[in-house]
Structure 1
Amino acid sequence: MTPQRLEQLTRLRQALHQIPEVSGAEEKTAAMVAGYLRDFAPDKLLTGLGGHGVAAVYNGLAAGPTVLIRCELDGLPIAELSDQPYRSRHEGRGHLCGHDGHMAMVAGLAAELAARRPARGRAVLLFQPAEETGKGATAVLADPAFAQIVPDYAFALHNLPGLAVGKVGLCSGAANCASRGMRIRLTGRTSHAAAPRDGISPAAAMAQLMTGLPDLGQGGDLDADYALVTLTHARLGEATFGIAPGLGEVWVTLRTVTDARMEQLVADATALARRACADHGLMLDIEFDDVFEACTNHPAAVQILQDACAEAGHPAQLGDLPQRWSEDFGQFARHAKSAMFWLGSGVTQPQLHNPDYDFPDAAIPVGTGIFLQTLRTLLG
């Protein structure tokens, strides 16, 4: 990548960094991305895909496979701590997961593809909405327009704090854990605080759940039996001294390596909640949100990435452990041989979702170069 191209992509990344938008509300981000892509003459530009998704298509000169390179549009509802001139201008929101950097790397492919179309097949650059909630990939796949770009192969990356800038990690098989948020609502009956026995308080059941649910999954080795239940929020009654509570909520995140283990964990957690409500005469309502299926790398796609990393001068460090956090990229495995790799964002880089995280611009040419080599391997 030339210094001029890197400077252009750095400006794009920092411009995107200033306008973070949360999942499902990425209107300005999508418009900026689409405007940038139009300057590099894609054969087709799809917008509004699965919400605010954008896809640029570059056709090859002969028949061949469709290869999709995916990145994410959304930021986070977290206030950024930064004194950078390009810090977030949207109060209470920030690009604190590096999706601005991911977009810049994938956008960097547009100039290369415009200058030199693939020899065969099609390259699709997808900017996906709503990854952080786990809803974006599902919405993109359900959009009728997705039929125009169904891939044979799909690739993505995520930056990884703790790994040196430019270093690459890759694993075959399980790549990201399945997870889901479980919201348990307990309904009893309020009473005067002077006569609590005349009501039905959820307090005892909540205490039972707040200790019992984490016991269902305490983490451990990242194998097929791995399960982790994390208590994230609880609320009992109203903030008052005069009312004995009649309503309580417990929120937990369930996490497993496999989808099968998730099904069992959901069943166990649901059974525990039902027993607690039955024991204390409460009504129960359970909802699930932020649902992520397990993300699994296809061995053929992993081999392609491994070869591309070596050709690009950034050999991958192979391992067999998935990341504990989740990714909805696994949805694309329904249609394509897919794989995701990890790109180092710095040994001392703050963790993803930290308020002082900032994607390193030095990683842009590495990610773009690996993706470009992947396209060349498959499309010529």
Structure 2
Amino acid sequence: MILSNEDMVELAAFRRKLHRTPELSREEVQTAAEVRAFLAPTRPDRIITGLGGHGIAAIYEGKAPGPTVMVRAELDGLPIEEISDLPHRSGVPGKGHLCGHDGHMAILAGLARALGRRRPQRGRAILLFQPAEEDGSGVAAVVADPRFREISPDFAFALHNLPGLPLGQVALAEGPVNCASRGMRIVLNGKTAHASMPETGISPVNVVAELMPALTALGRGGPLDKDFAMVTVTLVKIGEPAFGVAPARAEIWATLRTLTDAGMEDLCVSAEHLVLSAAREKGLSVEVSHDDIFGHCENAPEAVAHLRRALDEEGVPHDKGNLPIRASEDFGRFGQRAPAAMFFLGAGENHPSLHNPNYDFPDDLIGIGARVFMRTVRNLLG
């Protein structure tokens, strides 16, 4: 597949347009509309909209029976204020495409142009623009949508840009590549008292002071092997802004992280036991809930082999890089239904990190990503 210079200019302009108007998870109404409008001239055989929320699946049919190959990009941005002097910087206060999902969408838009010009010879190519990746709810909602049965991919592929890796270099490996993670919200409730008589109340202060280091100690960190675990306290709130009241209520938010889903089950049991024991000892009631739940992402050997072949044929340098990485990714849920693999495309060794307020996706990656996916699709579907 060859994208023309005109294609590249238009794809970069599309990416920058998306960058200016980010929307958060489960709010991607306008983003989905922009994607659908860009796809329309490629004449998909079918477009499924509202998939799992605001998701879009564009289907390109081959003439003969064959496998279904799905390639995924993400629709959502982040609740982070962009700090940038770029002419295409976010125009939405407090929101930004600071993870590169705008670039991932542009890559699939390039793939759509190639498929519009020449359909697969067999099977189906499906381009999925997935909602709500950032909060971990997107893939679960997509696969729970009854219309996902109409997609049922035989292979699923995705990419993520990766700052710190040389521009255009690819990291790819079999097995776990992204950690499992989840947010743990702990609410402690006791009894208020006058600040002059704290002994007449039940305060969560000492329990919070005990739990913060104890939770962190559950995660030893270290190498990303099967025993890897990490707990990061992200928020602590105690009482109300008043000098005369000894507090009764406290919240602790912590992110739990392990290499595998099995490790996450063990870490959750340990963390909840620790919290319940500490709270009950001090006479506090406790509520524990979990949010932003990500399973680990594991690359299937068969799917990796197809990506490696495409990378070699396109002359894109690749190795294992520093995989696996600690960051989480909900694409792993697709791997529970079909052989799946994600590769990581270098955004530059000195490029701002993902989720940084001055991050911007490098437009030079659009053509590389589209070529690799197109070669993969052609190899599988002709």
The corresponding residue for 1:276 is 278
Q: How many residue pairs were aligned? A: 380
Query: For 2:321 and 2:90, how far apart are their aligned partners in 1?
Result: 35
Match of 2:291 among 289, 292, 295: 289
Residue 230 of structure 2 aligns with an amino acid whose one-letter code is L
Q: Quick check: 1:23 aligned with 2:25?
A: yes
Alignment of 1:366-377 (within 5 A): 366-377=368-379
Contact 1:172 1:320 (8 Å CA) reproduced? no
Residue 93 of structure 1 aligns with an amino acid whose one-letter code is K
Percent identity of paired positions between Structure 1 and Structure 2 = 54
Query: For 1:186 and 1:212, how far apart are their aligned partners in 2?
Result: 16
Deviations 1:193-213 (A, max 9, x none): 111111000001111100100
Q: Quick check: 1:52 aligned with 2:54?
A: yes
Q: Which moved more, 1:142-151 or 1:318-327?
A: 318-327
The corresponding residue for 1:187 is 189
Structure 1 SS opposite 2:66: coil
Deviations 1:231-272 (A, max 9, x none): 100011001101000001111100000111110000000000
Match of 2:237 among 230, 235, 238: 235
Shift of 1:319: 4.8
Structure 1 SS opposite 2:327: coil
Residue 11 of structure 2 aligns with an amino acid whose one-letter code is L
Shift of 1:278: 1.4
Match of 1:83 among 67, 82, 85: 85
Match of 1:165 among 164, 167, 174: 167
Moved over 4 A (4+): none
Residue 16 of structure 1 aligns with an amino acid whose one-letter code is L
Shift of 1:146: 0.8
Structure 1 SS opposite 2:125: strand
Shift of 1:178: 0.1
Deviations 1:97-148 (A, max 9, x none): 0000000001111111111110110000000000000000000000011111
Deviations 1:329-375 (A, max 9, x none): 00101221000000011111111000000000011100000000000
The corresponding residue for 2:98 is 96
Shift of 1:218: 2.8
Contact 2:64 2:121 (8 Å CA) reproduced? yes
Structure 2 SS opposite 1:356: coil
Query: For 1:375 and 1:234, how far apart are their aligned partners in 2?
Result: 48
Query: For 1:312 and 1:126, how far apart are their aligned partners in 2?
Result: 23
Q: Quick check: 1:339 aligned with 2:341?
A: yes
Structure 1 SS opposite 2:114: helix
Unaligned stretches of 5+ residues in structure 2: none
Q: Quick check: 1:247 aligned with 2:249?
A: yes
Match of 2:213 among 208, 211, 214: 211
Match of 2:68 among 66, 69, 84: 66
Unaligned stretches of 5+ residues in structure 1: none
Query: For 2:194 and 2:39, how far apart are their aligned partners in 1?
Result: 63
Q: Quick check: 1:121 aligned with 2:123?
A: yes
Query: For 2:164 and 2:263, how far apart are their aligned partners in 1?
Result: 28
Query: For 2:58 and 2:88, how far apart are their aligned partners in 1?
Result: 27
Residue 371 of structure 1 aligns with an amino acid whose one-letter code is F
Query: For 2:274 and 2:367, how far apart are their aligned partners in 1?
Result: 50
Residue 361 of structure 2 aligns with an amino acid whose one-letter code is F
Match of 1:365 among 361, 364, 367: 367
Query: For 2:322 and 2:145, how far apart are their aligned partners in 1?
Result: 34
Q: Quick check: 1:36 aligned with 2:19?
A: no
Deviations 1:61-85 (A, max 9, x none): 1000000000000000000011111
Query: For 2:224 and 2:323, how far apart are their aligned partners in 1?
Result: 7
Query: For 2:205 and 2:99, how far apart are their aligned partners in 1?
Result: 36
Structure 1 SS opposite 2:93: coil
TM-score (norm 2): 0.98
TM-score (norm 1): 0.99
Contact 2:171 2:322 (8 Å CA) reproduced? no
Contact 2:297 2:328 (8 Å CA) reproduced? yes
Contact 1:82 1:356 (8 Å CA) reproduced? yes
Q: Quick check: 1:321 aligned with 2:320?
A: no
Query: For 2:350 and 2:323, how far apart are their aligned partners in 1?
Result: 21
Contact 1:171 1:320 (8 Å CA) reproduced? no
Q: Quick check: 1:304 aligned with 2:306?
A: yes
Contact 1:78 1:93 (8 Å CA) reproduced? yes
Q: Quick check: 1:106 aligned with 2:113?
A: no
Query: For 2:78 and 2:320, how far apart are their aligned partners in 1?
Result: 30
Shift of 1:315: 3.1
